[in-house]
């Protein structure tokens, strides 16, 4: 990471700390916002958050590693999550998973070469009455089928 990229992150983290405060309770909201903007929380950002919140960097990394929706490795600009609960499975989520994988040319927990999409499974989204469902970034899509998910990912930037 070059200096200008580091500066962009430093400035952003500074505004987050102004917004959420320097208490430990601010840690998750700050990490969530970094994640949203830069798609993962790089080592430099972890150090900067630790410094401003006066927490050991290992603590910051430990928190990131605990939560399924926080990442410390580079990811795609978009995340597509397929629900893997049994109810969605029985309503066709496995076929949808396969179609997505084929279309994107990647397996699950992988990112496309152009950095557009990371594909993942996730546990129950609470949409079992409208299954199968997928999450594209933070938007839920219910009762999807092979055609509709392919249209969805073609629209991603």
Partner 1 sequence: MNTLNKIKRTGPVLFSEYEKGSAVKKVLEMEREDILFEIKDSGLKGRGGAGFPVSTKWMITAAANADKKFIVCNADEGEPGTFKDRVLLLEYPELVFEGMIIAGYTIGAKEGIVYLRAEYSYMLEFLENFLEEMRKQNLLGKNICGKGFDFDIFIRLGSGAYVCGEETALIESLEGHRGEPRNRPPFPVNTGYLGFPTAVNNVETLASVPNIINKGGEWYHKHGTDKSTGSKLFSVSGDCKYPGVYELPWGTTLNEIINITGAEDTKAIQVGGASGICLPATEFGRKLSYEDISTGGSIMIFNKSRNMLEVLKNFMEFFVEESCGQCTPCRIGNVKLLEGVEMIEKNEYTIEYIEKLKELGRTMQVASKCGLGQSSPNPFISILENFKDEIFNNKPVLN
Stretch that binds partner 1, among 6-14, 87-95, 102-110, 148-156 (CB under 8 A): 87-95
Q: Does 54 bind partner 1 (CB under 8 A)?
A: no
Q: Does 152 bind partner 1 (CB under 8 A)?
A: no
Closest separation in Å from C-beta 27 to partner 1: 4
Binders in 9-38 for partner 1, by CB under 8 A: 23-29, 31-32
Instruction: For residue 33, give the nearest of 47, 50, 52, 14 by alpha carbon.
Output: 14
Stretch that binds partner 1, among 10-18, 99-107, 135-143, 145-153 (CB under 8 A): 135-143
Q: Using alpha carbons, list the distances in angstroms from residue 65 to 2, 18, 72, 127.
A: 25, 25, 8, 26
Query: Would you state the structure tokens that stand for residue 42, as one six-digit string?
Result: 């790089």
Taking CB under 8 A as the rule, which mask of x and - marks residues 104-123 in contact with partner 1?
Answer: ------------------xx
Is residue 34 within 8 Å of residue 49, measured between CB atoms? yes
Q: Please, which residue, 89 or 101, has the CB nearer to partner 1?
A: 89
All residues at 6 or more sequence positions from 56 whose CB lies less than 8 Å from its CB, including other chains: 50
Burial of 3 (0-12, 13-18, 19+ CB in 10 A): exposed
Q: What is the CA radius of gyration of the chain?
A: 17
Residue whose structure tokens are 């996730």: 122
Closest separation in Å from C-beta 20 to partner 1: 10
Q: Does 90 bind partner 1 (CB under 8 A)?
A: yes
Stretch that binds partner 1, among 10-18, 95-103, 105-113, 138-146 (CB under 8 A): 138-146
Binding site for partner 1 (CB under 8 A): 23-29, 31-32, 62-63, 66-70, 84-87, 89-90, 122-131, 135, 138-142
């Amino acid at each position: 990471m070059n200096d200008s990229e580091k500066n962009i992150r430093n400035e952003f983290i500074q505004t987050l700390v102004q917004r959420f405060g320097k208490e430990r309770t601010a840690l998750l909201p700050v990490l969530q916002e970094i994640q949203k903007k830069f798609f993962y929380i790089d080592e430099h950002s972890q150090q900067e958050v630790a410094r401003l919140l006066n927490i050991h960097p290992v603590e910051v990394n430990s928190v990131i590693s605990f939560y399924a929706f926080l990442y410390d490795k580079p990811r795609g600009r978009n995340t597509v999550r397929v629900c893997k609960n049994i109810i969605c499975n029985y309503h066709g989520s496995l076929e949808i998973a396969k179609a997505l994988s084929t279309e994107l040319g990647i397996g699950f927990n992988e990112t496309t070469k152009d950095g557009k999409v990371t594909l993942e499974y996730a546990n129950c989204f609470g949409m079992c009455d409208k299954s199968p469902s997928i999450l594209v970034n933070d938007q839920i899509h219910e009762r999807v089928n092979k055609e509709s998910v392919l249209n969805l990912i073609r629209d991603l930037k």
